[in-house]
Amino acid sequence: MSVLQEISPNVKQMRQLEYALLVRQAIRIREDLKQGMRKPYKDVIEVCWGDPQGTGMKPLSFVRQVLAACLYPQLVNSDKLPVDVRQRAQRLRQECCGGSVGSYTATRGIPEIVHRVSEFITRRDGGAPSHPENIYISPGSQWALTNMLKILVNSESSTRTGVLTPVPCHCTTTLSIEGLGAVVVPYYLSEKQGWELQVEELHRALESAKGLCNPVALYVINPGNPSGQVQSRKSMQEVIRFVLEKKLFLLADEVYQDCVYGENCEFLSYKRVLAEMGPPLSDSVELASFHSVSKGYMGECGLRGGYVELVNLDPTVMEHIYTMFSKDSCAPVLGQMALDLMTNPPQPGDPSYPLYDVEKRHIRNTLVCNLKKARAVLNSLPGFCCQPVEGGLFVFPRLHLPPKAIQKAKEVGMEPDTFYCSMLLEEAGVFVSPGCEYGQKEGTLHIRIVLTTPQDVMEELLKRLTSFHTQFMKDFS
């Protein structure tokens, strides 16, 4: 018997990703194109994953210049880089052990960077204090979230641990919960109300868990992924009161906080809202808040940098968390530096500020323009309905397929929206994600499209999608 057959039953029971099937298909299509096979398109437009640079967004020059000088110190003495870039690189290198990015750091991260992240959080939250000893820099937010889940999940209890999780929700979190042997307790965001999180639905979800598991935590994503809603202060206050009443730990995924563009919308962190609600809530609710350099204007997914801030945790629990984070030594040093640059960007008057401001505005304008174009086109096509998007990097339109298409999907052993995405990829060279990957109410279908791509690419994508969809609906009507 193979040793691999003895792997954890929790891992064996993790659901297979629909995305994996489409990835293999995309690899085959790209290889066909490389070999000169004729198709109605010359390339594959990939807008399926939340990887801004992978979908064509250019990195911020300031970030890459500083990191380049950190990796190759000789550049610090070169006049080819702005003076503030060289100064920042010099400071960051001096904060590394041995003055090199190739060294280990403290478990929480380079102390000076952790301190500056703490100052960023305090500024962001209107003065609500943040303490460096409550912050851990991590190899991305998902890594930190999984570590927190390991702390929360009791694998030795006769009753499995449950985590209330939004639907829709990005699949990496649900896979992490399942991989630890815990139960995903779904609560459904209200699509008709713009994917609103309603506290009545949280009560229903908690009731549904009785006899199935012991719910210990509530996971929220704000701004939403893939739903794109931004929570109001009132909604967040209701959630905070709910978790206190039900004695749940609050896990707040806030990695898209820089990407808010809905009218009359603003990002408020759960930390800030909790602090401003005052005692006893502000002293009692246990919270972990996550942020990352992977999303927003940075888009540095490959650098693997993020943080978690912990609020109101028992000192004994904090000791165990320190041990948990210590087992992996430290986060990648370049990721830590990118986090420092995200939380402390160039300011007006700095030599690098004019270019930084132009590049950041360009990214935001691209997102907003792509969003407007995508919603307009999708809502003009029969069978599509796209809710307003207030934040994040995605559109997640509902798809109404003809019965013949649904029947055909069953015949080939696919979920209906996966079948649609597979056909779209094969016939139009457009790679989007099926809604079943993220969870959806029974009887509904969706697709997810990433907005962080150049405007000309988005126009080509929407042109191909329109042509394909029109023919698809005609073929299966």
pTM above 0.85, yes or no: yes
For the chain, which domains are there? 3-56+357-475 (3.90.1150.10), 104-343 (3.40.640.10)
* Distance, CA of 426 to CA of 41 (rounded, Å): 10
Q: What is the pLDDT tens value at each position of the chain, 477 positions in all?
A: 555 556 566 655 656 667 788 999 999 999 999 999 999 999 999 999 888 888 889 999 999 999 999 999 999 998 889 999 999 999 999 999 999 999 999 999 999 999 999 999 999 999 999 999 999 999 989 999 999 999 999 988 889 999 999 999 998 999 999 999 999 999 999 999 999 999 999 999 999 999 999 999 999 999 999 999 999 999 999 999 999 999 999 999 999 999 999 888 999 999 999 999 999 999 999 999 999 999 888 999 999 999 999 999 999 999 999 998 888 778 999 999 999 999 999 999 999 999 999 999 999 999 999 999 999 999 999 999 999 999 999 999 999 999 999 999 999 999 999 999 999 999 999 999 999 999 999 999 999 999 999 999 999 999 999 999 999 999 999
CB within 8 Å of 108: residues ≥ 6 apart = 114, 132, 133, 135, 136, 137, 325
Strands 306-311 and 287-292, bridge-based pairing:
antiparallel
Q: Please compute, for residue 378, the number of CA atoms within 13 A of its CA located in the half-sphere on the CB side.
A: 24
Phi, psi of 287 (to 5 degrees): -140, 140
Sequence-ordered list of residues with C-beta below 8 angstroms from that of 267, at least 6 positions apart, any chain = 222, 223, 230, 254, 257, 258, 260, 391
Q: Read off φ and ψ for residue 96, nearest 5 degrees.
A: -85, 150
Helix, coil or strand: residue 419:
helix
